[in-house]
Amino acid sequence: MPILPSVLLLLHLLAATFWVGGMAIMHFAVRPAAVEMLEPPKRLGFMVGALSRFFVGVSVSIVVLLASGLWMVMLAGGFGRVHWSVHAMFGIGLLMMALFLHIRFAPYPRLRRAVAASEWPLAAAQLGSIRKLVAVNLGLGVLVFVVAVLGRAM
C-alpha cells in the first residue's frame, strides 16, 4: 500500500485536531482562567496575544487541511467518486474557514485597536463577539469529527 494516502490523512487529522482542539482549549480553559485571574486590561491584552499566536497555527492548519483534503479527493478519483461524508466535511470545513476569516479580519482587529487605545468596554465587546463565533466554529468542528467517524456507517 502506498504511504502517500496515509501521510495525507495524518497531516489532515493533525491539522483538524490542532484547530478544533485549540478552539476547545481557548473557549473552555484559557479564557475562563483569564477571566478568573486577570483584571480586564491585563486579561484583554493577554487574550490578544494568545489569539494572535493561535491564529497563526489556525492559518497553517487551514492550508494543510485544504491541501491534504483536496489531494486525498484527487487520489480517490475526484468529488464524484467520494462518499457523501467527504462532501459534508468539505462544506462544513469551508463554512468554518469563512467564520475564521471573519473573526481574523473583523472583530479581532477591532479588539486589537481597542486594547491598544485602552478602550476596555469596546475591547470586551469584541472579545465577546469572538467568543460566540468560536463557539459556533467549535460546534461545527465537532460535527466534522462526527461526520468523519460515523458518516461512513450511513
Residue 106 is predicted with a pLDDT of 98
Residue 152 is predicted with a pLDDT of 86
> What DSSP line would sit under 109-135, residue for residue?
HHHHHHHHTT-HHHHHHHHHHHHHHHH
Question: pTM for this structure?
Answer: 0.95
Query: Is pLDDT of 1 > 80?
Result: no
pLDDT band of residue 102 (cuts 50, 70, 90) is very high
Percent of the chain residues topping a pLDDT of 90 = 97
Angle between helices 40-75 and 107-116 (to 10 degrees): 150
Kindly report the average pLDDT of the chain as a whole number.
Answer: 97
Going through the chain in order, the beta strands assigned E by DSSP cover none
Residue 16 is predicted with a pLDDT of 98
d(CA 53, CA 75) in angstroms, rounded, equals 33
Query: Is pLDDT of 150 > 80?
Result: yes
